Amino acid sequence: MDHVDHILIVDDDREIRELVSGYLQKNGLRTSVAADGRQMRSFLEANAVDLIVLDIMMPGDDGLVLCRELRAGRHKAIPILMLTARTDEMDRILGLEMGADDYLAKPFAARELLARINAVLRRTRMLPPNFQISEAGQLLTFGDWRLDTVARHLLDKDGTAIALSGAEYRLLRVFIDHPQRVLNRDQLLSLTQGRDAEFFDRSIDLLVSRLRQRLGDDAREPTYIKTVRSEGYVFSVPVEISEPRR
């Protein structure tokens, strides 16, 4: 029997829950609903889901709190699509920073929600098994560089800190957590968990270029991040892990 994707809709608005659930069911998905964090937790204790549609603005624990909780617990692998108010840009950014895989602003078209759900599921399933970011509290050493995952500092061989943007840091973490493995653009988009409406595949190329500049990597003959034609990128140096000194 073919697998039918199971979507959990977490929203305190009953009308939205019913409308979204009905539309997704008509389009071949299985759905369940929860009105708040308590119901969501209870449901996940006894049921497996393939993706969570999570509203931000809810009484009690809001969507940001629940997203952070999901990413820190045993359900951290479940993709999350967050629903936000159109004007809450900061909430959208915070949601992506906390690990949401995508977002959609209210009011939204049900057809677009379905398309985004399918896109997130497709990207997630392109990842090889056991792809996870290593836990914080480590010093990651590669070549002439070290990355302190507590302070989020990139340190050169002399111990000088190099500033990284949030997007550069996330991309570097992905590369050094998965060295010597070819990653395509869709995988990098999913693993960095920073995709928004303006974040498109080729922007990964620009971000790789910026990261190479931070590392002093020659794009024509790179040492750290090599291009694999028609496939993606590979972090080509070994990585050593140790506890940072304090």
For the stretch 139-168, pLDDT in tens is 889 999 998 877 777 888 888 888 777 778
Mean pLDDT of 8-26: 96
Cα separation of 7 and 121, whole Å?
11
Cα separation of 70 and 99, whole Å?
9
The residue type found at 77 is: A
Cα separation of 208 and 49, whole Å?
33
The DSSP string of 231-246 is: TEEEE-S--EEEPPP-
97 or 219: whose pLDDT is higher? 219
Query: What pLDDT does 88 receive?
Result: 60
* CA 46 remoteness from chain centre: 25
Q: For 57-75, what is each residue's pLDDT tens digit?
A: 898 899 889 988 888 788 8
Q: What's the pLDDT band for 49 if we cut at 50, 70, 90?
A: very high
Cα separation of 141 and 194, whole Å?
24
Mean pLDDT of 110-130: 79
The residue type found at 39 is: Q
Helix, strand, coil share of the chain (percent; to 5) = 35, 20, 40
Cα→Cα distances 101→67, 203, 239, 243, Å: 10, 17, 27, 29
The DSSP bridge pattern shows strands 225-228 and 232-235 to be: antiparallel
Q: Which of 189, 135, 136, 142 is nearest to 167 (CA)?
A: 189
Cα separation of 51 and 53, whole Å?
7
Residue 208 φ/ψ region, left for φ over 0, alpha for ψ in the -120 to 50 degree band, beta for the rest: alpha
3-state per-residue secondary structure call for 56-125: CCCCCCCHHHHHHHHHHCCCCCCCEEEEEECCCHHHHHHHHHCCCCEEEEECCCHHHHHHHHHHHHHHHH
Q: What percent of the chain has a predicted confidence (pLDDT) above 90?
A: 35
pTM for this predicted structure: 0.58
